[in-house]
């Protein structure tokens, strides 16, 4: 009797790391459930990348909008109807936004937390009963360097990924007794569209943080030119799916490994300076003189009567 292929649910499977991961795992024999906003478009991309036929049962598309609780409930039901309790749930979908804390609108913070944190939490809650009943499964959380340390100009993204990691750590303790494990993959810089067209920038490039943005742009351009292909992340994910430990965290990419290592080794004050230098942020107090408000110039004129009059 032929064994059924293992099933993996990947959110955001229509592009970037999700598309590369779904393609790689399909070729390894997994059954792929791609959870995405536009399944018709996403499935076409997956079929093109994998060579799968339109009626291939190892490739399933499910509509999922992580900002919509009713969509999450419907997606979980469709997933269980398609494959039962999934062997693996990969929280890959996410969005980013750039801009200083002062210039980032509250709506952007809320949107990032809805997509990057609250959505994954809700989807996990919907699927956990079936996974718990099966007594097996792994939940994989895709984090980033911003989840290790707050990165200037992407504070909302960093905060959402940091919160996602703390949630994953707590979840691992809760589900381990039922035979479920949790893995956090800290992704470095990869060549995906989140680096360019998918990330809105709310910063004022001629405002008080203009020097910050210029330095970060130079560093970012350097990192993008040396970014890894998404296929390298997909291979690391495939290795992580075979883990049998209650909790694991792995950095994927040289830059992520260096930051994770540095965060464990260096004191916070020193790490602050290392990141400042790496991202060309002005030193402490360097911009203070620019922001001082000078008193208005006062001209003293003599009136015809000989009394002084002040004009601001």
176: helix, coil or strand? helix
Return all residues near 239 (Cβ < 8 A) that are at least 6 apart: none
> Which of the 8 DSSP states describes residue 252?
E
Question: Treating both helix axes as pointing N-terminal to C-terminal, what angle do 106-113 and 155-175 enclose, rounded to 10 degrees?
Answer: 30
C-alpha distance from residue 245 to each of 5, 7, 58, 183 (Å): 22, 19, 27, 9
* Cα separation, 266 vs 276, whole angstroms: 14
The pair of three-digit structure tokens given for residue 2, joined into one six-digit string: 């032929």
Ordered DSSP codes for 278-290: HTTPPPTTTTHHH
* Cα separation, 76 vs 119, whole angstroms: 12
The pair of three-digit structure tokens given for residue 82, joined into one six-digit string: 């398609």
Per the annotation, the verdict on 202 as an active-site residue is: no
Contact 290, 225 (CB under 8 A): no
Contact 203, 209 (CB under 8 A): yes
99: helix, coil or strand? strand
Terminal Cα distance for the chain, rounded = 93
> What's the burial of 287, exposed, middle or buried (CB within 10 Å: 0-12/13-18/19+)?
middle
Cα dihedral sign for 116, 119, 123, 126?
positive
Taking the CA of residue 143 as centre, how many other CA atoms within 13 Å lie in the half-sphere pointing to its CB?
Answer: 32
Query: From the candidates 26, 157, 209, 213, which is the catalytic residue?
Result: 157
Kindly list the catalytic residues.
157
């Amino acid at each position: 009797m032929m064994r059924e292929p293992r099933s993996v649910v990947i959110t955001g499977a229509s592009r970037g790391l999700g598309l590369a991961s779904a393609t790689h795992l399909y070729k390894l024999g997994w059954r792929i459930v791609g959870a995405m906003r536009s399944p018709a478009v996403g499935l076409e991309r997956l079929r093109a990348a994998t060579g799968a036929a339109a009626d291939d049962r190892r490739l399933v598309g499910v509509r999922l909008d992580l900002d919509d609780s009713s969509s999450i409930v419907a997606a979980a039901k469709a997933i269980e109807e398609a494959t039962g309790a999934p062997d693996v749930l990969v929280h890959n979908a996410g969005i980013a936004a750039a801009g200083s804390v002062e210039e980032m609108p509250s709506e952007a913070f809320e949107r990032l937390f809805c997509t990057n944190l609250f959505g994954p939490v809700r989807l996990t809650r919907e699927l956990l009963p079936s996974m718990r009943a099966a007594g097996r499964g792994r939940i994989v959380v895709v984090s980033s360097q911003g989840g290790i340390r707050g990165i200037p100009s992407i504070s909302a993204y960093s905060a959402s990924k940091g919160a996602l990691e703390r949630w994953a750590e707590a979840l691992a303790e809760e589900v381990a007794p039922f035979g479920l494990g949790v893995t956090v993959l800290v992704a470095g810089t990869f060549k995906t569209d989140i680096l360019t067209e998918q990330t809105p920038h709310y910063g004022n490039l001629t405002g008080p943080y203009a020097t910050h943005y210029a330095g970060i742009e130079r560093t970012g351009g350097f990192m993008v030119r040396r970014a890894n292909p998404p296929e390298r992340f997909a291979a690391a994910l495939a290795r992580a799916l075979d883990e049998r430990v209650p909790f694991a965290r792995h950095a994927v990419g040289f830059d992520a490994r260096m930051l994770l290592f540095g965060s464990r080794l260096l004191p916070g004050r020193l790490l602050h300076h290392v990141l400042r230098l790496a991202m060309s942020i002005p030193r402490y107090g360097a911009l203070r003189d620019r922001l001082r408000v000078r008193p208005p110039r006062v001209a003293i004129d003599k009136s015809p009567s000989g009394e002084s009059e002040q004009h601001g």
